[in-house]
Structure 1
Amino acid sequence: MNIRIMTEGGDHKANQQIISVWVRDPRIRKNDFWHAYMDYEICLHTNSVCFTKKISSVRRRYSEFVWLRQKLQENSLLMVKLPELPPKNPFFSLNNAKQISERMQGLQKFLEKILQSPLLLSDSCLHLFLQSQLSVSKMEACAAGRTHYSVTQAVQRCGLRRFHSEEDLQKDLNLSCDFDSDSSESRDAEPRIKDLALTKSESAPLFDFVGTSQEETLSSSFGST
């Protein structure tokens, strides 16, 4: 979905800012032999001045969405009525395609509504959630100024998961080590390398709501503004 933001003055088209966000590509991750969870890719394309990075792709799990909503509610001091997340289902199954699809759609609608609020767009936690791969504890520390890197630096150093060589993969992993080193929440390096190295033909996502034509439309709309 394209979220259009109008700025004052000047030509109508020239001042139109667009934020496009979608939630897709659910993948099962294993913490250990007995415990697993699912995360989702959050893709964002924008020409908005609110964002340092105009194109980004990160992965987040449901519990991180819950954290984001809580932080946005706290930081907005109840000045904004936040949209609801899809309810937590005690019987949610990682193998139930219908439940997964409904949750993804609910998460996407949540983000679409969030991004329509100018007040929430100024929240550092939202930008770190959408455009960095920091863990929850690292996002909180960074937003509070308790890290040696700024919010902008954390966003700029988060890659798009599109690489051309094993050297590029390793370089990205080395950079991200400085940001996400918590043993309880960090992602295992070996599975990440395997995930990043998969080509589009080798990795078949369970769902893919964004086709080539939509990506081309988004790209052309940004280039024309």
Structure 2
Amino acid sequence: MSGQTVSADFSGHMLDLEEDEDLEVFSKNTSLADGSPVPNSPSSMINQYRLEEDTAEQQNGNTKDIFITVDDPESHVTAIETFIVYRVLTKTTRSEFDTSEYEVRRRYQDFLWLRSRLEESHPTLIIHPLPEKFVMRGMVERFNEDFIQTRRKALQRFLNKISEHPILSYCQSFKVFLTAQELTSHKKQGAGFLSRMGETMRAVANSVRGLRSRPAEFILMQEYVEAFGNKISSVDRVTQRIIREQREYLDELKQYSPTYTQWAGSEEELAEPLKSVASCVERCSKETEERIHHLSDVLLPVLHEYVLCAESLKAVMKRRDNIQAEFEVKNEALASKKVDQEALQEEVDGLADRVEQANNALKGDWSHWQNSMRTDLKSAFISTAEKNVEYYEKCLAVWESFLLSQKVEPSDDRNSGDVS
């Protein structure tokens, strides 16, 4: 069961934020950490990142051979339930598909079926999470347009993550999901209830008994997963709090502008400046609203996805441990000589192969997941930083224009009087 080891240096890639720690506000510095000057314009630094991202996207586009779109949500109402059905459009150049384009309709339960089948086929591969079945705390009610669109984007992202995976994208269940008009017959072909119950009971028994010796490389993985889950959850909570506070600030701004407008009606000499202030506040309100939308639509979904990813990783680690624990139980029974050794030896050898396959699958998928995670988070953070810079530059320009409009030039008479 030997294989390549995982690097022990996880610390360099860990989000450095304590569980209850708030984001710090850093003072502006005119030099970078290495002493080099800051670029003349923030956008010049952003463009450097954009160039790297565009190159990576171009390389990815050259190798990608499955393109999936989830759109056109429709509400279906029956006597016992109400649910949303989405259209799934697929375009592919793979030879194993009969045609190059497919169109099917799927509901959320179908996505759950696909993910469960992928987990059954590859228990130690890291499968991207689905959005929660129930509404998150603080979100709008189910079947609200915003919620439906948020879920639609998450479902499309889930399918595209699978399509980009070097192993999962070739699973028969994935092909069936994308191409079959009806899934009912395929769902009946899954493992029976008693079989699934048996697997569950063995997993519970193994988890209770525990492992005798988890390999060091998987101990490091487990520690990384726990730390990553804590850090990304903290960033997710802080972001939600920032969005909530920004919305409260926006509500106050929207009340602020009419107040200045009303005040201008009762102050003739100050009417123009007051109206200008009201206009500036209104323009800043629109920029604030756009910034909130960006945080809600770009940053928060990615952060929350990786909160769910952390839970998925923990489940994968548990399944790996269960496979090893089952092997240890059988191996100990063989060593005790209380059973038919010849029959059990064959089972132990099979379990040994299964453990090795599970370990190799997880180790191979680990770097793939880390690269994807870092790319996703980097893109979200850079986009948010760019939006923040744009927001403050626009608001600054609004108030600078107001100051320039209020600047009073001295009269020629006053200047001539001063000279005399």
TM-score normalised by the chain length of structure 2: 0.29
> In the alignment, which residue of structure 1 is the partner of 2:180?
132
Whole-Å separation in 2 of the counterparts to 1:43 and 1:123: 18
Q: 1:48 Cα deviation (Å)? A: 2.0
- Counterpart mapping for 1:16-31 below 5 A: 16=63, 18-31=65-78
> In the alignment, which residue of structure 1 is the partner of 2:149?
101
**C-alpha contact (below 8 Å) 1:19/1:47 kept by paired residues:** yes
Q: SS of 2:71's equivalent?
A: strand
Q: 1:112 Cα deviation (Å)? A: 0.6
> In the alignment, which residue of structure 2 is the partner of 1:48?
94
Q: SS of 1:29's equivalent?
A: strand
Name the aligned partner's letter for residue 142 of structure 2. Answer: S
Whole-Å separation in 2 of the counterparts to 1:64 and 1:132: 12
**C-alpha contact (below 8 Å) 2:113/2:187 kept by paired residues:** no
Is residue 123 of structure 2 the alignment partner of residue 74 of structure 1? no
> In the alignment, which residue of structure 2 is the partner of 1:84?
129
Q: How many residues of Structure 1 are paired with residues of Structure 2 in the alignment?
A: 131
**C-alpha contact (below 8 Å) 1:50/1:122 kept by paired residues:** no
**C-alpha contact (below 8 Å) 2:67/2:91 kept by paired residues:** yes
**C-alpha contact (below 8 Å) 2:69/2:156 kept by paired residues:** yes
| Greater helix content | 2
**C-alpha contact (below 8 Å) 1:39/1:62 kept by paired residues:** yes
- Counterpart mapping for 1:205-224 below 5 A: none
**C-alpha contact (below 8 Å) 2:64/2:164 kept by paired residues:** no
TM-score normalised by the chain length of structure 1: 0.52
Is residue 110 of structure 2 the alignment partner of residue 64 of structure 1? yes
* C-alpha spacing 1:119/1:59, structure 2 compared with 1 (3 Å): same
Q: 1:53 Cα deviation (Å)? A: 2.5
Whole-Å separation in 2 of the counterparts to 1:42 and 1:63: 14
- Counterpart mapping for 1:155-166 below 5 A: none
Name the aligned partner's letter for residue 82 of structure 1. Answer: I
> In the alignment, which residue of structure 2 is the partner of 1:123?
171
Q: 1:129 Cα deviation (Å)? A: 0.9
Q: 5+ residue gaps in structure 1?
A: 7-12, 145-225
Name the aligned partner's letter for residue 140 of structure 1. Answer: K
Identity %, equivalent residues: 27
> In the alignment, which residue of structure 2 is the partner of 1:153?
none
Q: 1:87 Cα deviation (Å)? A: 1.3
Q: 1:52 Cα deviation (Å)? A: 2.6
Q: SS of 2:164's equivalent?
A: coil
* C-alpha spacing 1:103/1:66, structure 2 compared with 1 (3 Å): same
* C-alpha spacing 1:58/1:125, structure 2 compared with 1 (3 Å): same
For the pair shown, the structure with the greater C-alpha radius of gyration is: 2
Q: 1:61 Cα deviation (Å)? A: 0.4
Q: 1:30 Cα deviation (Å)? A: 2.1
Whole-Å separation in 2 of the counterparts to 1:52 and 1:4: 26
Q: 1:70 Cα deviation (Å)? A: 0.9
> In the alignment, which residue of structure 2 is the partner of 1:203?
none
Whole-Å separation in 1 of the counterparts to 2:70 and 2:121: 24
Q: 1:122 Cα deviation (Å)? A: 2.3
* C-alpha spacing 1:35/1:3, structure 2 compared with 1 (3 Å): farther
Q: SS of 1:81's equivalent?
A: coil
Name the aligned partner's letter for residue 150 of structure 2. Answer: E
| Greater strand content | 1
**C-alpha contact (below 8 Å) 1:58/1:130 kept by paired residues:** yes
> In the alignment, which residue of structure 1 is the partner of 2:159?
111
Cα RMSD of the aligned pairs, angstroms, is 2.7
**C-alpha contact (below 8 Å) 1:50/1:121 kept by paired residues:** no
Q: 1:111 Cα deviation (Å)? A: 0.4
Q: 5+ residue gaps in structure 2?
A: 1-56, 192-420
Q: 1:69 Cα deviation (Å)? A: 0.5
Deviations 1:127-155 (A, max 9, x none): 111111223x41134689xxxxxxxxxxx
Name the aligned partner's letter for residue 109 of structure 2. Answer: S
Deviations 1:32-54 (A, max 9, x none): 2x522111000001112242321
> In the alignment, which residue of structure 1 is the partner of 2:289?
none
Whole-Å separation in 2 of the counterparts to 1:123 and 1:35: 31
